[in-house]
């Protein structure tokens, strides 16, 4: 891993992901988590202040990248819920099957190496009555925006430490066996559209 990936990229990404407009979107998702929560790609812990301690017994944060985890130390210390970090890739988690009540995934499916394997692992560890809460950016249904996403992706990816602009979010969830119960697709305001297409919702395994 080079200097940029270790020191600059993660700070930049964390700063962008911590913007006020994005926090508003997080607030629509994270407080619904309950029980034992798995947060995939917890990164610098931007969701931690939003967990409701009356509903959440523990957050297990999975993320393989030390530079992102390092940035989250103070948020973990300040969290109102117990937080356990597992430095591992979501494509091969050590967690037992059907062991978590909620999975939270925000701005992560864009960055994992293999989204299909990651979602299949999430499907495995989630209890049948559990829910996957998602807030992801990805491929737009608008052909003109999608064209720009495909054009910009090779330039964007190294800058944003492996984040892709053009991954299909809902298609990947369905292909992994999830049933989408609630979803909203829209553009984040005040952001150029290739970077702004969001999918926010709730899914179950069956
Ligand atoms: C754009 S950041 C988002 C961080 C956080 N989810 C948020 O909402 O602010 C993407 C995160 O995905 C993590 N990530 C990348 N590959 C991963 C993998 N294979 N498994 C789990 N997390 C991964 C990165 O380390 C980084 O923390």
The burial of 197, by beta-carbon neighbours within 10 Å (0-12 exposed, 13-18 middle, 19 or more buried), is given as buried
- Partnered with residue 40 across adjacent β-strands are 62, 105
Domain extent listing, the chain: 3-205
Helix (H) or strand (E) holding 10: helix 9-17
- Tell me the chain's radius of gyration from C-alpha atoms: 16
Pocket test for ligand 1, best of 6, 40, 43, 134 (most atoms within 8 A of CB): 43
**Protein residue with least CA distance to atom 10, ligand 1:** 108
Reported confidence tier of residue 1, pLDDT bands at 50, 70, 90: confident
**Protein residue with least CA distance to atom 17, ligand 1:** 112
Residue 154 scores a pLDDT above 90? yes
Å from CA of 12 to ligand 1 middle: 13
Pocket test for ligand 1, best of 108, 138, 188 (most atoms within 8 A of CB): 108
**Protein residue with least CA distance to atom 16, ligand 1:** 112
Give residue 127's pLDDT: 98
Which residues have any ligand 1 atom within 6 Å of their CB?
13, 17, 40-41, 43, 46-47, 62-65, 68, 89-91, 106-108, 111-113, 163
Q: What is this structure's pTM? A: 0.98
| Count of positions (residues) in the chain | 206
**Protein residue with least CA distance to atom 15, ligand 1:** 112
Give the number of other CB atoms < 10 A from CB of residue 108: 22
* Chain segment 58-109, per-residue pLDDT in tens: 999 999 999 999 999 999 999 999 999 999 999 999 999 999 999 999 999 9
CATH number 3.40.50.300 given to 3-205: no
Give residue 107's pLDDT: 98
Please give the angle made by the CA atoms of 66, 68 and 74, to the nearest 5 degrees: 100
* Chain segment 13-46, per-residue pLDDT in tens: 999 999 999 999 999 999 999 999 999 999 999 9
Tell me the CA end-to-end span of the chain in Å, nearest whole number: 39
Å from CA of 182 to ligand 1 middle: 23
Pocket test for ligand 1, best of 15, 104, 111 (most atoms within 8 A of CB): 111
């Amino acid at each position: 891993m080079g200097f940029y990936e270790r020191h600059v990229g993660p700070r930049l990404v964390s700063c962008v992901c911590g913007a006020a407009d994005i926090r508003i979107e997080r607030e629509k998702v994270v407080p619904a988590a309950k029980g034992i929560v798995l947060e995939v790609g917890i990164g610098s812990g931007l969701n931690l202040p939003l967990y409701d301690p009356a509903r959440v017994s523990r957050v297990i944060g999975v993320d393989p990248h030390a530079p992102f985890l390092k940035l989250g130390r103070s948020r973990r210390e300040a969290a109102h819920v117990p937080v356990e970090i597992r430095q591992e890739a979501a494509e091969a988690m050590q967690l037992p099957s059907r062991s978590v009540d909620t999975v939270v995934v925000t701005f992560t499916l864009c960055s994992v190496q293999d989204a299909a394997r990651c979602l299949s692992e999430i499907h495995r560890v989630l209890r049948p009555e559990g829910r996957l809460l998602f807030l992801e950016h990805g491929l737009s249904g608008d052909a003109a925006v999608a064209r720009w996403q495909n054009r910009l992706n090779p330039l964007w990816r190294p800058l944003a430490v492996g984040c892709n602009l053009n991954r299909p979010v809902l298609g990947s969830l369905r292909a992994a066996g999830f049933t989408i119960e609630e979803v909203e697709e829209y553009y984040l305001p005040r952001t150029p559209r290739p970077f702004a297409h969001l999918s926010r919702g709730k899914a179950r395994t069956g």
